[in-house]
Amino acid sequence: MKQQTTLVEVENLVIKFPVRGGDRKKKFITPVDYVSLEIKKGEVLALVGESGSGKTTIGRALVRLLKPTEGNIIVDGKNVNTIKGKDLMNYRKVAQMIFQDPFGSLNPVKSIESHLKFPLKKHQGFKGLALDQKITDLLLQVGLTPVNEIRKKHPHELSGGQRQRLAIARALAVNPQFIVADEPTSMLDVSIRAGILQLMNELKRDLGLSYLYITHDLASARYFGDRIMVLYGGKVMEIADSKALIKNPINPYTKLLLSATPGSDIKVNLKDMNNEAPDLSEGRKGCPFVHRCPLATDICKETMPDLVEQKENHFVACHHAEDSIEKMIFN
């Protein structure tokens, strides 16, 4: 089913932001701290984690809306880490991003068709009748029908779900290979979400697209993701095939996250859990989950564990992974 060629390879990605410190000295946070990942052609990597864990920042770096502080982003064999100007323009044809709030990325005074016209002309050189036909094809492909009515409308005349479909059509207009979808359904009504997920799934199947699918909903991560990567405090805690991760989570944080999700078999008593947000400050030590982890020991405070392959294709960053496999913790 899966092809084996790698499309996106990220090595030790670090992203640093300045923040104002209390003592007026310039301080930094690193919400993305030595993150490595790989996405194959036609594969969906779901990225899950609570808000503030660094998901959007990784997504923005991967489509190069942000410049990484450290590390490498290699897409289709090219290092796009530091590209700019024309190279960056060309990279926009390879990688596109879909945002949580489609309205924010649409132009209220432009018609639906002109949202598609520009990228089709500029990036793919379509014109005249062919351009017209291509717009029709794209609208049909994303389920925006009746096409002739929709083309002339403006974004405010579309429903939330239709706007997200338009955002997808616009991303497709450059004929990309890779899409970062950042919580694309979280602002939509429940009855509309499934349609968008189905559409993204069809596009994956028909066009062989690769996705980084960012979500805080593990159930949709399992539905759409071939693999799931769990992020906490800017660090990768666990990566595995979706089913394996949901069924046999190993990292204590993943277990916690799963137990909190409706429909999970894992039950945990969270009643007096410490819900403190993780430390993102630059140069922090140890595992970000140490304050909340029932297995934490001294070493967890000192050093961040490496991602280790605990089972086939199942990578876990935890000093006590073996313990965690054996024990039902949190009881």
Ligand X SMILES: Nc1ncnc2c1ncn2[C@@H]1O[C@H](COP(=O)(O)OP(=O)(O)O)[C@@H](O)[C@H]1O
With CB under 8 A, what is the number of residues at the site for another protein? 40
| Residue 257 is a binding residue for another protein (CB under 8 A) | yes
3-state DSSP of 218-284 = HHHHHHHCCEEEEEECCEEEEEEEHHHHHHCCCCHHHHHHHHHCCCCCCCCCCCCCCCCCCCCECCC
**Contact pattern for ligand X over residues 11 through 40, marking x by CB under 6 A:** ------x-------------x---------
Residue 46 · residue 229 · CB < 8 Å: yes
Residue 329 · residue 295 · CB < 8 Å: yes
Site for ligand X in 275-304 (CB under 6 A): 280
Separation of alpha carbons 306 and 303, rounded Å: 9
Q: Angle 128-141/160-172 helices, nearest 10 degrees?
A: 130
Interface ranges with Mg ion (CB under 5 A): 56
Q: Is the CB of 7 or the CB of 280 nearer to ligand X?
A: 280
| Residue 56 is a binding residue for ligand X (CB under 6 A) | yes
Stretch that binds ligand X, among 47-55, 158-166, 236-244, 253-261 (CB under 6 A): 47-55
* 244 Cβ contact list (under 8 Å, min separation 6): 311, 313, 314
Stretch that binds ligand X, among 53-61, 72-80, 188-196, 268-276 (CB under 6 A): 53-61
Stretch that binds ligand X, among 1-9, 46-54, 150-158, 193-201 (CB under 6 A): 46-54
| Residue 52 is a binding residue for ligand X (CB under 6 A) | yes
Number of Cβ atoms within 10 Å of the Cβ of 171: 23
| Residue 51 is a binding residue for ligand X (CB under 6 A) | yes
Phi, psi for 153 (deg, rounded to 5): -75, 170
Residues forming the site for another protein (CB under 8 A): 50-51, 159, 161-162, 189-198, 216, 218-220, 222-223, 246-247, 256-265, 269-273, 275, 277
Residue numbers at the binding site for ligand X (CB under 6 A) = 17, 31, 49, 51-57, 280
